[in-house]
Structure 1
Amino acid sequence: MTGPAARAAAGACLLPRTAVHHSEGVDSRESDYARPAGDVKALMIFLSFPDAVPDLTPQEVVADHFPATSRFFAAASYGQFRLHVHPVTRWLRMPHPSTDYLINRDWDAADRTDYLRDALRVADPVVDFHGYDVVYLVADPDAPGVDSDATKVVNLAAPVTVDGNPLRRLVTVFERHPPDRNVLAHETGHVYDLPDLYYRPPAGSNADWDTHVGDWDLMGSQFGLAPEPFAWHKWKLGWLAPGQVGCVARTGVTYHDLTPDETPGGPKLVVVRTGPDQALAVEARTRTGNDATTCAEGVLVYRVRSDRESGDGPVDVMDGHPATSACPGTSVYPPLADAPLGVGESWAAPDGSTQVTVTGRAQDGTWTVRITQRLPRTAGARG
């Protein structure tokens, strides 16, 4: 079944969806994932434990995440995705102390299953699950066994049906108060099939988590200065209309206009096909909307791979200024904070196959880019 993304550009630029988790392929969509479109109802349930008395009211916890999360998606989707939260108004007590569940980032599957089973059991008698597309299970952040690093979306091998509603994934929230910025928007992105874009170093390594995309797109870092979703993700989610995506699939020189990713209307994305499962994406980013705190403005170039799973580098931002960094006090990864290209600047692929040059910026904010596509040097060499 082809999804909304499949209708947005010529077939030559549609990366195939592969079997990897949260594939960045856009030629079809996974039917198990709901569409982030229209008015969507989210249920928020609050869980306490026998070994702690909550210091916060449910209303205070809701305010940690809403209306900020709804506003984020309303802006990112240009008003097409409207998320409405319906919170339970009291804490529901779990049957065991928080420490019994051994909550942590790399949660044992059996312990996590026990937690989910107990959570649904205590909620089912008092909560009507019918009609909700998203379910947030929010733990008392001050309970001794709660680890804020364990917040994640749990994908169930088989859906659990509660009140006639088949639940395929649940958002388990263990955030401290106040929470990380945009954390719930990040997790909600997973509910709609967006991958993690950060790199998780091996245990004991001092490597940086944010080398792939830096501040760009909240699926990389919820602390990022430019959390607006990549235009590629908006294409994948169906938020871009057919005329807003351009395709370069042959050699030659082409010119393209780009309006900022953060603002409604106009062309948003140019895709340069570079391989069976790879493409370059080109978009404009400016200091407005969800990106009001961005470190730099300009034209952003990034590589997308549909054969890389969530957390394994499906997206890499190309550094337009590799000799410099920026915003060391606020950026999650300063080397990429100044990645966008300004007027008159270019980025070229190492093999010489693609060059992206920013040729102008109009008074209305539209950026113009020239894309030169050649045969790679290795392909054109003769011995």
Structure 2
Amino acid sequence: MQQPRHRIRSHRRPIALAGATALVIAAMASASTTLPGAGRATAGPAATTQDSALAPCRISAAMGVQMSEGMPTPPGYARSTGEIRALNLLIDFPDAEATEPAADRFAEFFPQTSDWFATSSYGRLDYRPEAPVEEWLRMPMPFTEYGIERGSPFEPGYRQLVEDLVAAADPEVDFSAYDLVNVLVTPNAGPSALDTVLSVTFSGNSDAPHADGVPLSNTSFVYSRQDDGSGSYAQTGYRVLPHENGHVFGLPDLYTMEGGGSVGHWDIMSEDWGANNDVLGWHKWKLGWLDNEQISCASRPGTSEHTLGPLATAGGTKLAFVPLSAQSGYAVEVRTPAGNDEAVCRPGVLIYKVSSDVDTGQGPVSVADATQDSGGCTRRPNVHAELSDAPFRPGQTFTDRANGVRISVLDEDGSGNYRIRISRP
């Protein structure tokens, strides 16, 4: 049974400490010319339910699992393709008054967030941020009285905060016109993100307060600044918002209480500090950014060969999947330093296990490391080093003896496509 309310809280802290653009208070379209028309947007790849050849690879959502990796994405989340209107409300408090123009805070996240989604989705998500209230909205209570801390539940503090921001914005905002809400909090409210990350998303929340006849069921709150002191904040600080909005679209946290050790920097849902990164191919299929024709399902016993193109480029086969059960399997894709993947230092074939019966934040995805205990190939701040060289290269083989699965990388052609061989019982 899908949980009616999802509280996604961050345990993230930066892995290592190393040493704005113009505001558009209006709808903003990305530069892509291949955006689909509005009105046909859906949450997740609904078409996969009609493709019998892919059915074994379309692992199902497990009952009672919060933010399951299974397909399809259940109702209640924001649409993940087509035109998405994102309402941005900028708020401060009597005990934490904003010290900069609201336009400056908005410019920390846009148009960067829109561009990130356009690139990751191959233009299939037209993310349009709007800020109809151009000034800070002052909340009636001091920040401390809302009782907001890391891990705070929706009741009672966040409910009160949502009710207060609705009351403040409602004269100028038609909430029914938007698909999701971003609450951009003045950075001086609450602790530094270096100490405690408060940014949080409540998604699929049918119990949320209503405004203009709709529930504010998909709302992200962004606090402080994810500034590690390295001088890269202007380029990387916005990335907390694509992470939080990932929850609004139904994606789970891939980091665990121990940090990003199961996925590393291979998905923004694992690490959103540091250099730019993309999402996994499994997530792109789940969100409807990859077509069924771009998925190769290795469900039959025996040996099969598959050719995969780099995930960063549009078109062609992008993902091979080896189902192990109705709720788990191995995903195989090619990652290169292109698109949103800035930190890839060892291009190659990334192999990872997806488990739809594991809760958000508990490790629903685990990456196989082709070079275990190597220390990695990067020293970039806030990039998990050990898994940075996880991809498999030609001549290397991943083996799961317990399930009898072997995935071998055969060769790479001049266009960066990789040929792999999958053997399974």
TM-score (structure 1 length as normaliser): 0.90
CA contact (8 A) 1:5 1:238 kept: no
CA contact (8 A) 2:159 2:208 kept: no
Q: Find the counterpart in structure 2 of residue 368 from structure 1.
A: 419
* 25 and 344 in structure 1: CA distance in 2 versus 1, 3 angstrom threshold: same
Listed as ranges, the matches of 1:54-133 within 5 Å are: 54-87=98-131, 88-108=133-153, 109-133=155-179
What secondary structure sits across from 1:172 in the alignment? strand
Displacement of 1:145? 6.8
Q: Find the counterpart in structure 1 of residue 198 from structure 2.
A: 150
Listed as ranges, the matches of 1:325-336 within 5 Å are: 325-326=375-376, 327-330=378-381, 332-336=383-387
CA contact (8 A) 1:5 1:236 kept: no
Q: Find the counterpart in structure 1 of residue 3 from structure 2.
A: none
Listed as ranges, the matches of 1:1-383 within 5 Å are: 3-7=46-50, 9-19=53-63, 20-26=65-71, 28-87=72-131, 88-108=133-153, 109-143=155-189, 149-155=197-203, 156-176=205-225, 180-200=237-257, 208-223=258-273, 225=275, 227-326=277-376, 327-330=378-381, 332-351=383-402, 353-374=404-425
Q: What is the distance in 2 between the residues matched to 1:177 and 1:29?
A: 29
Gap regions ≥5 residues in structure 1:
201-207, 375-383
CA contact (8 A) 1:141 1:177 kept: no
Q: What is the distance in 1 between the residues matched to 2:112 and 2:139?
A: 28
Displacement of 1:100? 1.5
What secondary structure sits across from 2:314 in the alignment? coil
Q: Find the counterpart in structure 2 of residue 381 from structure 1.
A: none
Q: Find the counterpart in structure 1 of residue 15 from structure 2.
A: none
CA contact (8 A) 2:176 2:212 kept: yes
Q: Deviations over 1:285-308 (max 9, x none)?
A: 001110022222100000000101
Letter in 1 for 2:146: Y
* 224 and 264 in structure 1: CA distance in 2 versus 1, 3 angstrom threshold: farther
What secondary structure sits across from 1:158 in the alignment? coil
Gap regions ≥5 residues in structure 2:
1-43, 228-232
The runs of at least 4 aligned residues of structure 1 exceeding 4 Å deviation read 144-148
* 2 and 140 in structure 1: CA distance in 2 versus 1, 3 angstrom threshold: closer
Q: What is the distance in 1 between the residues matched to 2:372 and 2:191?
A: 43
* 192 and 301 in structure 1: CA distance in 2 versus 1, 3 angstrom threshold: same
What secondary structure sits across from 2:307 in the alignment? strand
Q: Larger strand proportion, structure 1 or 2? A: 1
CA contact (8 A) 1:262 1:290 kept: yes
CA contact (8 A) 2:207 2:215 kept: no
What secondary structure sits across from 1:39 in the alignment? strand
* 338 and 63 in structure 1: CA distance in 2 versus 1, 3 angstrom threshold: same
Displacement of 1:330? 3.3
What secondary structure sits across from 1:116 in the alignment? helix
CA contact (8 A) 1:70 1:84 kept: yes
Of the two structures, which has the highest relative contact order with CA contacts closer than 8 Å and spacing of 6 or more? 2
Displacement of 1:85? 0.6
Q: What is the distance in 1 between the residues matched to 2:361 and 2:242?
A: 17
What secondary structure sits across from 2:296 in the alignment? strand
What secondary structure sits across from 2:311 in the alignment? coil
Q: Find the counterpart in structure 1 of residue 40 from structure 2.
A: none
Q: Percent identity?
A: 35
Q: What is the distance in 2 between the residues matched to 1:331 and 1:99?
A: 30
Q: What is the distance in 2 between the residues matched to 1:342 and 1:6?
A: 33
CA contact (8 A) 2:116 2:340 kept: yes
Q: Deviations over 1:325-361 (max 9, x none)?
A: 2213435322211000112211111426111111111
TM-score (structure 2 length as normaliser): 0.81
Q: What is the distance in 1 between the residues matched to 2:398 and 2:90?
A: 49
Q: What is the distance in 2 between the residues matched to 1:319 and 1:177?
A: 28
Displacement of 1:265? 0.5
Letter in 2 for 1:101: Y
Displacement of 1:146? 8.0
Q: What is the distance in 1 between the residues matched to 2:149 and 2:422?
A: 46
